[in-house]
Structure formats: C-alpha cells, structure tokens
Structure 1
Amino acid sequence: MAVPINPARVDFVTLRLFCAVARSGSITKGAEACHLALSAASRRLSDFEAATGSKLLERSSQGIALTPAGHVAMQHAMRLFQGFEQFSNELGDYSSGVRGHVRLWANMSALTEFLPATLAAFLGQHPDIRVEVEEQLSGDIVRALVDGLADVGVFAENTPAYGLDVAPFQTDELVVLCARQHPLARTRRTDFKTCLAHEFVGLNRSSSLLELTSRAAEQAGIPMRLRVQVRSFDAMCHMIAANLGIGVVPLAACKAQVSALGLKVVRLRDAWAVRRLLMATKTGETLSPAAQLLVRQLMASST
C-alpha cells in the first residue's frame, strides 16, 4: 500500500523550485529564478523526492529531466499553483470592494460569437462582480470544471461531459471556407464528402471541431487530408486565403476574416453542420451567488 505524502514536508517554495528546475532543465537556473542558494535548492529537491518516495528528476551531464513520476508531480504542482492564484485573486477582489468572482472557461466559437455581448450586459448590471474568462479547448474545459479550476464552462456538443450538469446554450453554423481561386469557390452549397477530395487546414488535434470533421470523414470512408494545423480560426483563415487548403469553421466567428481576406463561403448540407454549444457546471457543486447570477444570464441569452 502506498504511503501518503506528509503535507508538512512539502511547501510552496519547494514546489515553485521544482517547477522552475523542470522548465529550465537546470538546478542552477531554477535556484536563481527562486532566489535560492544552489546548496539550499539541492537540499530542498532531495527532501522533496524523499517526501514523495519517488525519483522525480533524472540528473545527467546534459542537465535535468523529469522522470515519469516527475511529470505527474509537475502536473499536480501546477494545479496547486493555479488554485493558490485563484484563491489570492478572489480574496483580493473582496478586499478591494469587488463582491464576486466567477471563472468562465469557453471554447473559441463561444468566445468569439456569443459571449462578448452577453458578458457586457452582465457586467453592466453587476459591476461588483469580476468574471475571469479563459479560452480553452472543449476537452480541457470539461476537465477544468471537474477539477474545480472553472466555475462555468461553454463548449461544443459531443464532448464527453461526465460529472457535469449540461444545458443547451447556442447553435452555430459550420461552413467550408476556401480561397477565391480554389475549385470549390464556384460552389454555393455542397456535402462534406465532396470536400474530402481536397486538402484541409484544421485546428490542432485536441479541438472538438477537428474531432467532429475527422469523425465525419471516417463515416464517409474517405481519409481527411490535413495539410496545415493551427491553433486559431484567424490563423486558419489566413492559411485558407493562401490556398493551402479548405477549412470547416463556424461562420459567425469568422465573418470579419471572410470579408477582409476575400474568402469564399460554401455551406454544408450535412446535418452536423448546425452544431450546439453547451453550458455546464460541476454536478453537485454549490455555485457562489455571483456564479449563479452568470448562469442565469447565460441561460436567458441561450437560443
């Protein structure tokens, strides 16, 4: 049976040092970043490994690398720092007169299409509440809600959401964008299967949109040829404008780029092209009064 770590043997200074060493690959640089003497830093790291009962750092002439156990320790240390930062921010809000703090995580589609107007209205009605907004991928939003790093989340449907209370929020239309010189530019409406004859520009591998289109390609029995992968709709639009491929995007989120870059919009006949966005909170979690107010505002703005 594993022996639990004694919390008294681990402090935030040591955790911060451990993270700094892991990021820099050097005990010397980690010690400098934390304003510690090298000998004190080495002793703290040795004591930390002894407290965990695991070897966390692999030392070699090339520097310092994390062991598998070290990677796990790093993830938990970062989560602890995030929690402490939120703790500090929220108490700071109360001390400065702000009477509420809500952590809202949303995917790119929701953040660019629907949330700006809703949040502006909410904050206009509740100037004493601070909403901390973070853009993340749908899968990461679900994990943040489950882990307590976010109070409210908005993400795409078909994202596994175990342990969450989920409600419909908005719908968006997915379309194909292409450059004016692309063969599809002469088409006003098509099906996704036809699009699979061409190369694609897509988001990175953790995005719900890429998962959706990849699943549609698999059902059509035709591989989806990804030529370029990027992290934002704006980058997608610029790659598409350079005729590096076509891309499936939420129309409302990319209207400005469509106009500015002279892109061609091709609508999809497929039923999945009308996609729902969902709002969620952690099941069984008691929301703060400020978070409850924001949830009500989001529900009122849903379609």
Structure 2
Amino acid sequence: MAGNPINPARIDFTTLRLFCAVAQTGSITKGAERCHLALSAASRRMADFEAASKACLMERTAQGIRLTPAGHVALQHAMRLFQGFELFSNELSEYSSGSRGHVRLWANMSALVEFLPAALAGFLQRYPETRVEVEEQLTGDIVRAVVEGMADVGIFVAGAPTHGLNVRPYRVDELVVLCSQAHPLAAHDRIGFRHCLAHDFVGLNRGSSLLNTITTAAQEAGFPLRLRVQVRSFDAMCEMIAANLGIGVLPLGTCARKLGPWGLKVVHLDDAWARRQLLIATSANRTLSGSASLLVEHLAKA
C-alpha cells in the first residue's frame, strides 16, 4: 500500500524550477543565481522541498550537490511538469493570439463561390490549428446571425441594415447576363438590363439578395420580371440557362469557368447596380476572438 501522498500545495513551480537548476548545476548557489533568488531563500526552499517529498533528494559533497536515486526520480517528474506547463502556456497563448481557435463564418453565395475558397485556403495554410466553420446563408440571415452571436463574421452585399454591426468593405463583384450561345442576346457584348426583360429568366429561390436586386431593377424599369425557373444554386442556374430555358443574372466570377464547356455567353450590363459592394461584418457589441480578428484582417487584405 502506498504511503501518504505529497501535498501539492507545499510545492510550487518556483521551487521545482530551482530544484532543476540545482540538479543541473550541482550547486545551490548557482541554482539560486539562475533563478534570481537569494541563497538563503533558495536553501530554505530546497529544505522545504525535501521535507514535503518525505525523501532525501540531494547529497552534499565536497564537489557540490549530487542527486540521490529519489532525487533523480523527482527530477524526471519535475521536468515532465515543466514540459506540460510549457505546452499549456503555449496553447493558451495560441488561442489568445488567434493562431488556434474556432471561427464561425456565414457568407452569401456570391462570396462563398467567388472569393472565399482561395482566401480561406491561404488563411488555413498560415494558421492550420484554426478551424473555420463556413455556412452559406441569405443576407438577412447573416446579419441576424452576427448580431445575435450565432456567427462571428459575416459577408454579404451592401444595402442590408447594419445596425449593431461593424462593417468594412470586402470585395466588389460584377453581375452579368448569362445566356446560351443559341439565345438572341448572345449577339451582344453589352446591354442595358431593361432590354433583357423581354425574355424569360432563370433565377435563384425567393429570399436571395440577387433575386431581390433584379426584381427591384425590373420594377424600376417598368417591366415585369418573367421568372420561368427558380433553383437553389448558381450551378443549377447555369445548367438551366445552357438548356436555353431562359437567361440569368449571375456574378461574373461564378460562371466564368463554365462558358466554353457549357456553351454559355456572358453579356455585360451597363447598369450601375451591376457592380455590388460586399461587406465584412462583425458584432459591434462583442469582442472578437483572436482567431476571428486574424481571419477578418486576412480577408480584408486578400
């Protein structure tokens, strides 16, 4: 049966550090100097340490201090404790600096498809211990999530209410008309949106900021939006447009790679609203974690 355990309250890290220094230098005097302690204080700490350990840890010889077998065991455990404390300290420091952590990022479809893949890849390569949880959401939901604390960082199109948020510019995307090569609009390189309203449209589902944008533009032009097909993604829009079921308005970056292989044509819009400012938003009422701050700075500079 084991004897009475050592009371940890009688041993602190200063004493353990001193014990290691004495063992390494073979001298209480040199150990005290290394730990910036007075010799009398160091001697008292070593005596208290041995008393708390209930064992003889050191032998005093003419050549200096020599560890006993029990002292060697104590040294091994002291070194492990210091290594554990160093790991503990370093990991907490990584969380406070932001190099390790968890960030919840909500973004609209345009940002998620056009800009975030490359930006997040660069961020995670630099901070591999940080986990970024990404969700694609509608603009209104993103704003509410950041305000209410469900998301740390949000990216959406300018124009939504931003009360309770800190916002900064992110990127600008260009909206273009996408049509099949067989469509009459394929003969144009640029066009005003009002001239597109004589044709059927493929659009996103209700609630998307992009659908709201073109619906508002149609109303201002005085023509109805002939929405023939509604889908949930840009890829699905491109498939429907390639099948000549209608034309669509999409961010240029989301469809640029599909033009040749899918038989699609981009027609640029003359309208000012076709260039949209994306914003990065964080809560104005909560302090960002270190990792979230690093992500915001990285995205702003990307």
Q: TM-score, normalised by structure 1?
A: 0.66
Residue 175 (structure 1) aligns with: 176
Q: CA deviation at 1:237?
A: 0.4
Distance 1:223 1:257 in 2: 29
Residue 103 (structure 1) aligns with: 104
Q: CA deviation at 1:131?
A: 0.6
Residue 208 (structure 1) aligns with: 209
TM alignment of 1:1-303, pairs within 5 A: 99-301=100-302
Q: CA deviation at 1:197?
A: 0.7
Q: Supply the AA of the counterpart residue of 1:180.
A: Q
Q: CA deviation at 1:263?
A: 0.4
Distance 2:192 2:260 in 1: 23
Per-residue CA shift, 1:141-194, capped at 9, x if unaligned?
111112211000111112222221111100011100011111111111100000
SS class of match (1:165): strand
- Does structure 2 retain, via aligned residues, the 8 Å contact 1:204–1:210? yes
Q: Supply the AA of the counterpart residue of 1:245.
A: G
Distance 2:161 2:229 in 1: 26
SS class of match (2:249): strand
SS class of match (1:239): helix
SS class of match (2:207): coil
Distance 1:248 1:292 in 2: 34
Distance 2:245 2:130 in 1: 44
- Does structure 2 retain, via aligned residues, the 8 Å contact 1:159–1:208? no
Distance 2:147 2:261 in 1: 39
Identity of aligned residues (%): 64
Distance 1:148 1:228 in 2: 35
Distance 2:241 2:162 in 1: 32
Per-residue CA shift, 1:84-132, capped at 9, x if unaligned?
xxxxxxxxxx9xxx93000011111111111111111111111111111
Distance 1:189 1:298 in 2: 31
Q: Supply the AA of the counterpart residue of 1:139.
A: G
Distance 2:277 2:123 in 1: 22
Distance 1:220 1:131 in 2: 42
Q: CA deviation at 1:254?
A: 1.2
Q: Supply the AA of the counterpart residue of 2:222.
A: G
SS class of match (1:276): strand
Q: Supply the AA of the counterpart residue of 1:240.
A: I
Q: Supply the AA of the counterpart residue of 1:247.
A: G
Distance 1:106 1:122 in 2: 16
Residue 37 (structure 1) aligns with: none
- Does structure 1 retain, via aligned residues, the 8 Å contact 2:100–2:127? no
SS class of match (2:154): strand
Distance 1:127 1:164 in 2: 28
- Does structure 1 retain, via aligned residues, the 8 Å contact 2:146–2:283? yes
Larger radius of gyration: 2
Residue 36 (structure 2) aligns with: none
- Does structure 2 retain, via aligned residues, the 8 Å contact 1:172–1:276? yes
Per-residue CA shift, 1:188-229, capped at 9, x if unaligned?
110000001111000111100011111111111111110011
Distance 2:180 2:262 in 1: 9
In structure 2, stretches of 5+ residues that fail to align are 1-94
Distance 2:254 2:180 in 1: 17
